[in-house]
Amino acid sequence: MANGDLAAARSGDPAALERVLIHSRQDLRRYAEYHCVINDIEDAVQESLITISRKLRDLRVLECFVSWTFRIVKRECNRFKRGRRMLSGDMITDDILPVVTPEPAEWRHDVAAALESLPVHYRQIILLRDLEGLSIAEIGDRLGTTREAVKSRLHRARALAREYLDA
């Protein structure tokens, strides 16, 4: 995203604001997937985009935009979690984030080795889908190929990675 769009959006340009929000949405959704309950992801992203559009003029340093938006999403996720707890009657504590248990280091090394063993076109498709979170249509647009070809290549890439990991 160009800082020009961000500056224009902060100045009140509605077209620039729309471009900024559209560009930010996918990253905010991906971030919300780690911090929200599955049913609240889309709601948290929508509420965050509304908050961003209303409060963008108050952002003093444009370079902080991404971290600022992530904090807004995380706050929305926590708000939804509090709401669920109030509805369920569970006690509300300060410890509302789930405990994250890191996977063993050898798993990361095994997955990295499996990805490195793949041919470049298979590795690329897995990284676009599973790491960047792009949709099948977005991957097809980026690679200039059909949805069917993307699906087939992704299926084959995952099968090859699975074979490597099972060996």
Question: Tell me: the pLDDT tens digits for 66-81?
Answer: 889 999 999 998 888 8
Q: Which residue is associated with the tokens 């509090």? A: 82
Spatial distance between the Cα atoms of 70 and 29, rounded to a whole number of angstroms: 10
Per-residue pLDDT band for 90 (boundaries 50, 70, 90) equals low
Q: Which residue is associated with the tokens 């965050």? A: 48
Q: Are 44 and 58 in contact (CB under 8 A)?
A: no
Rg (CA), the chain: 20
Q: What is the tens place of the pLDDT at every residue in 26-79? A: 999 998 888 888 888 899 999 999 999 999 888 888 888 888 999 999 999 888
Query: pTM (2 decimals)?
Result: 0.51
Tokens standing for 12?
């009140």
Q: What is the tens place of the pLDDT at every residue in 112-161? A: 888 889 999 999 999 888 877 788 998 999 999 999 999 999 999 999 98
